Amino acid sequence: MRYGCQRLFTLLRREGWPDNHKRAHRLYFLEGLHLPSKRPKRSRAAAHRLERVKLQRPYQS
């Protein structure tokens, strides 16, 4: 499970910690808890794309 800064702040708030979200964010990064951002998944359409036809003469479509 991926816990982000906002999730951690919510859990701390539920336990009664009086800190605000800015302090929680600063401590989260100082402790090295930040995770690398997820890379977007590549579209499968690109794998099935056909090669472009080379034009033989001008204005050929």
- pTM, entire model: 0.48
Return averaged pLDDT per consecutive 10 residues of the chain, 61 residues in all. Answer: 79 88 88 81 73 81 65
Residues 6+ apart with CB under 8 A from 47: none
Give residue for tokens 């539920």. 14
pLDDT for position 2: 65
pLDDT for position 15: 92
Kindly report the three-state secondary structure assignment for every residue of the chain.
CCCCHHHHHHHHHHCCCCCCHHHHHHHHHHCCCCCCCCCCCCCHHHHHCCCCCCCCCCCCC
pLDDT for position 16: 92
